[in-house]
Amino acid sequence: MSDINKVVLAYSGGLDTSVIVKWLQETYNCEVVTFTADIGQGEEVEPAREKAKSLGVKEIYIEDLREEFTRDYVFPMFRANAVYEGEYLLGTSIARPLIAKRLVEIADETGADAISHGATGKGNDQVRFELGAYALKPGIKVIAPWREWDLNSRQKLLDYCDQHGIKVEKQKGKSPYSMDANLLHISYEGEVLEDPWAQAEDDMWRWSVSPEEAPEEPTIIDLTYQCGDIVAINGEAMKAHEVLSYLNKVAGENGIGRIDIVENRYVGMKSRGCYETPGGTIMLKAHRAIESITLDREVAHLKDSIMPRYAEVVYNGYWWSPERRAMQALIDETQGPVNGDVRLKLYKGNVTVLGRRSEDSLFDEKIATFEEDEGAYDQKDAEGFIKLNALRLRIAASKGRKL
């Protein structure tokens, strides 16, 4: 007899999670609560309600989390300028802690004994969901069907649907790739991408035109920052999710935000994936630009030194960990003076900074000028500075030390 009476499932309404609903009902003889989050994936989430009802689900949660997702997860991550392994802007990674949080909260609200997800046993998402859940509710039980069942192929899942009367929409023209989307990005894996030498197909990309097909005229935009976050575009105040939606559109139109990488998954394997992160690509460039004039040099370098660690922590699923919170506190402390405007040119896949300005700027034209500085900087001071910094090098060289 199972001690699981009710389970909260992260439910997309697709093939995998629809099978999971029925599988949980049969395997654990339990009630299933479905949770569907709208985090800007670009597809209607409301149809999931009828699908869940058809599977006998009585408690159905469908929530618009776009603003919370962008404001409380995406924006804090971009204050850190986080990039995993030099290229990946962590689009999938950053969505998981919010979903894990709501799964746990809904479990409390409904009196559920466990939560469940549709992540496979090969990927990072199982780790991210479960680390988040355990951090927020230590005693929570997690059911991961892909680690328990033998339905390890699409055909077996379809056969299961036939056997149990689960309706599956066979959409014509449906992408053959394994895809994940939210307001920050869309990812593509599988099929031809499993060969790292094979070129991605041109018709795979959904959010952006190719740089070759982008407009011949550049697009100029002005971004306004307040404490490290974008609060207005071209002088128009916007909420966080509105900012990201706008940037996705204008960047995609200009062929910006595509990458093709092989990354190191936390579970140990290498994985090839393609990502579109149009708005995020602009945000990273612009944030570094406004920081370049507003942050003290050593503060900026300190931020840069912890960024790879921060990115790794987010990628591996430790958003709710004490180390991420500690790094976030330091990062957020630096953002007080990160205010002002950045002007960008978007053109055929490129983002170019045209200008940056701030009332909190540390750039002093009188000191930096190549013209007469009227005594603002005494160039003779540089001689002693250089000699003191060269002292250890001179001593080592005089002792015959070789480089």
Tens digit of each residue's pLDDT, the chain (403 residues)? 478 999 999 999 888 999 999 999 999 999 999 999 999 998 889 999 999 999 999 999 999 999 999 999 999 999 999 999 999 999 999 999 999 999 999 999 999 999 999 999 999 999 999 999 999 999 999 999 999 999 988 889 999 999 999 987 655 445 678 889 999 999 999 889 999 999 999 999 999 999 999 999 999 999 999 999 999 999 999 999 999 999 999 999 999 999 999 999 999 999 999 999 999 999 999 999 999 999 999 999 999 999 999 999 999 999 999 999 999 999 999 999 999 999 999 999 999 999 999 999 999 988 888 888 888 888 999 999 999 999 999 999 999 998 7
The response to whether 13 counts as a known ligand-binding position is yes
Residues annotated as catalytic are 16, 96, 125, 178
**How far is the C-alpha of 373 from the C-alpha of 370, rounded, in Å?**
8
**How far is the C-alpha of 169 from the C-alpha of 191, rounded, in Å?**
21
**How far is the C-alpha of 384 from the C-alpha of 382, rounded, in Å?**
6
Q: What is the pLDDT of residue 107?
A: 98
Q: What is the pLDDT of residue 172?
A: 47
* 116 neighbors 142 (Cβ within 8 angstroms): yes
> What pTM, to 2 d.p., does this model score?
0.94
* 96 neighbors 128 (Cβ within 8 angstroms): yes
What tokens were used for 334?
């630096």
The response to whether 112 counts as a known ligand-binding position is no
Q: What is the pLDDT of residue 44?
A: 82
The response to whether 28 counts as a known ligand-binding position is no
The response to whether 11 counts as a known ligand-binding position is yes
**How far is the C-alpha of 135 from the C-alpha of 131, rounded, in Å?**
6
The angle that helices 15-28 and 154-164 make with each other, rounded to 10 degrees, is 60
Q: What is the pLDDT of residue 177?
A: 84
**How far is the C-alpha of 62 from the C-alpha of 45, rounded, in Å?**
7
Q: What is the pLDDT of residue 167?
A: 83
Q: Where are the alpha helices (DSSP H) in 29-148?
A: 47-54, 66-69, 75-79, 96-110, 125-136
